[in-house]
Chains A and B, each alone.
Chain A
């Protein structure tokens, strides 16, 4: 299953920030959804801005256009405002992408747990994201920070509790 690019992706002006406010708004919205669905398709959770510029996400080799660094920053800033992105450093060179909110991830995980009758059980984070049992689940391969966030979201709902031990973390579902 290959990634389906939106029609704008093959439209050269799409790769230049538009001066008109309305057009620019639409362009940004399209870029945001493109970036999110790209990350979702490739299961990307952390992005390096430099790498992202070279990746097909912002670089269409077919029409030889790529989004400029400033434009990428604008798009990422837009995503940050929407709550889908968080910067990892002050220089804004690395970021966390949340194409699914922690609460939604938490819901998915909890559904899996209750479906398998494992409420009231203890899990290691490794087990959840890399274990054999979760193979084929959407959250398989979830990066640890994202997993932890979603578990914390569950924790605020009282559905889980994160346990911190000397080496590594675990979680208990309720």
Chain B
């Protein structure tokens, strides 16, 4: 069943994946083999004990020799497993490295394409045009700012003149009528009120 599905999307499983799988399968087999030997060792150890108890030293010795040999086998399989695992890791890492390189390549290509779009002459031209535009804008600004400042100056001059001319008349008018009278009337009740309040408080106390 899995095969049917697998064929449809075969693209996603690469040759490397298959190689890794093969290595891992090999490792699994070795693991199973180890388990088997371990069990045998345990059995034989018990058997050897039994034989010693029964006084069959010769046989026990033979069994121990066999056991020793199997232990060596176990060591060998352990080595093989670590070999296989290292191989798997190397493969996996190589795949990662490949991806990194692919990524770098893609970035590089993209950069190249971008550079094609932005040639140096183009950039120079654009920068020149920008400079021109800035210059143009500044001229407009200057023109606008200049006319404004001219107006300002005129206004300032006019004001100055007005002040110096009306030096005698102007201050007299407000000081006599407007500012003093309303200020005085407004101030007094404000000052009186709090006093009244405090008096009331005093009384109440």
Chain A residues within 8 Å of B, Cβ to Cβ: 121-124, 126-127, 131, 148, 151-152, 155-156, 161-165, 167-170, 172, 174
Per the bound structure, the CA–CA distance linking A29 and B21 in Å amounts to 44
Chain A residue contacts of B25, Cβ below 8 A: 124, 126, 165, 167-168, 170
The answer, among B5, B20, B24, for a CB contact under 8 Å with A152, is B5
Contact A164 B24 (CB under 8 A): no
Chain A residue contacts of B5, Cβ below 8 A: 152, 155-156, 161-162
Beyond the given pairs A121-B92, A161-B9, A163-B2, 7 more chain A to chain B contacts, judged by CB atoms under 8 angstroms and listed by A's residue number, are A123-B24, A131-B28, A148-B2, A152-B2, A164-B2, A165-B18, A168-B25
A-contact bits for B16-39, CB 8 A (1 contact / 0 none): 011011101100100110000000
Given A121-B92, A172-B13, does the pair A126, B28 have CB atoms closer than 8 Å? Answer: yes
Per the bound structure, the CA–CA distance linking A28 and B12 in Å amounts to 46
6 pairs of residues in contact across A and B, judged by CB atoms under 8 Å: A122-B20, A161-B5, A162-B6, A163-B2, A163-B13, A165-B25
Instruction: Determine whether B202 belongs to the interface, using a CB cutoff of 8 Å to chain A.
Output: no
Given A124-B28, A126-B28, A127-B28, does the pair A161, B21 have CB atoms closer than 8 Å? Answer: no
Which 5 pairs from chain A and chain B are nearest by CB? A162-B2, A170-B21, A126-B28, A122-B20, A124-B24
Per the bound structure, the CA–CA distance linking A161 and B24 in Å amounts to 16
Per the bound structure, the CA–CA distance linking A168 and B2 in Å amounts to 12
User: Which chain B residue lies CB-closest to A149?
Assistant: B1
User: Which chain A residue lies CB-closest to B91?
Assistant: A122
The answer, among A122, A156, A167, for a CB contact under 8 Å with B17, is A122
Instruction: Determine whether B3 belongs to the interface, using a CB cutoff of 8 Å to chain A.
Output: yes
Contact A170 B3 (CB under 8 A): no
What count of chain B residues pass the 8 Å CB interface test? 19
Give A138 Cβ to nearest chain B Cβ, in Å: 21
Given A122-B20, A152-B2, A164-B3, does the pair A174, B12 have CB atoms closer than 8 Å? Answer: yes
Give B184 Cβ to nearest chain A Cβ, in Å: 86
Give A158 Cβ to nearest chain B Cβ, in Å: 8
User: Which chain A residue lies CB-closest to B21?
Assistant: A170
Contact A165 B1 (CB under 8 A): no
Per the bound structure, the CA–CA distance linking A148 and B6 in Å amounts to 13
The dominant DSSP class at the A interface is mixed
Contact B92 A161 (CB under 8 A): no
User: Which chain A residue lies CB-closest to B11?
Assistant: A161
Contact B21 A122 (CB under 8 A): yes
Per the bound structure, the CA–CA distance linking A152 and B28 in Å amounts to 22
Contact A161 B28 (CB under 8 A): no
Per the bound structure, the CA–CA distance linking A91 and B18 in Å amounts to 40
User: Which chain A residue lies CB-closest to B5?
Assistant: A155
User: Which chain B residue lies CB-closest to A170?
Assistant: B21
Per the bound structure, the CA–CA distance linking A152 and B8 in Å amounts to 13
Chain A residue contacts of B20, Cβ below 8 A: 121-122
Contact A172 B92 (CB under 8 A): no
Contact A127 B12 (CB under 8 A): no
Chain B residue contacts of A168, Cβ below 8 A: 25, 28
Which interface residue of B17, B18, B20, B21 has the most chain A CB atoms within 10 A?
A: B21
Per the bound structure, the CA–CA distance linking A168 and B3 in Å amounts to 12
Chain B residue contacts of A170, Cβ below 8 A: 21, 24-25
Beta-carbon contacts under 8 Å, B19-77 to A: 20-22, 24-25, 28, 31-32
Contact B24 A122 (CB under 8 A): yes
Which interface residue of B1, B2, B13, B28 has the most chain A CB atoms within 10 A?
A: B2
